[in-house]
Amino acid sequence: MKEKAYKLLSAQEGISNSEAKSLIDRGLVYVGNSKVMIARGEISPKTSFIVQKVEKVRPIFENDDLIVVDKPAFVNSDEIERQFKGSQLLHRLDRETSGVLMLVKNEEFRLKAISAFKKDEVYKEYVAWVDGIVSEPFIIDQPLITEKVGNKAYTKVAKKGKPAITEVTPLIVSGKKTKVQLIIHHGRTHQIRAHLKYAQFPIVGDESYGGRQSKRVMLHARKVILMGRTFEAQEPKVFDHFGN
The domain that holds 70 is classified in CATH as: 3.30.2350.10
Q: Per residue of the chain (244 residues), what is the pLDDT tens digit?
A: 788 888 888 988 888 999 888 888 888 888 887 888 888 888 888 888 888 888 899 999 999 999 999 999 999 999 999 999 999 999 999 999 999 999 999 999 999 999 999 999 999 999 999 999 999 999 999 999 999 888 889 999 999 999 999 999 999 999 999 999 999 999 999 999 999 999 999 999 999 999 998 889 999 999 999 999 999 999 998 898 665 4
Looking only at the bridges linking them, the beta strands covering 29-31 and 34-35 are antiparallel
pTM assigned to the model: 0.87
Same domain (yes/no): 19, 69: no
**Angle at the Cα of 50 (from 3 to 52), degrees rounded to 5?**
125
pLDDT in tens, 4-54: 888 888 988 888 999 888 888 888 888 887 888 888 888 888 888 888 888
Same domain (yes/no): 16, 91: no
Of the candidates 94, 120, 206, 240, the residue annotated as catalytic is: 94
Active site residue 94: yes
Domain hosting residue 174, numbered range: 58-239
Give the whole-angstrom CA distance, residue 185 versus residue 139. Answer: 11
Q: How many domains does the chain divide into?
A: 2
DSSP state of 178: E
Label each residue of 63-101 as H, E or C.
CCCEEEEEECCCCCHHHHHHHCCCCEECCCCCCCCEEEE
**Angle at the Cα of 99 (from 101 to 110), degrees rounded to 5?**
15
- Domain at 47, CATH number: 3.10.290.10
Q: 128, 218 in Cβ contact below 8 A?
A: yes
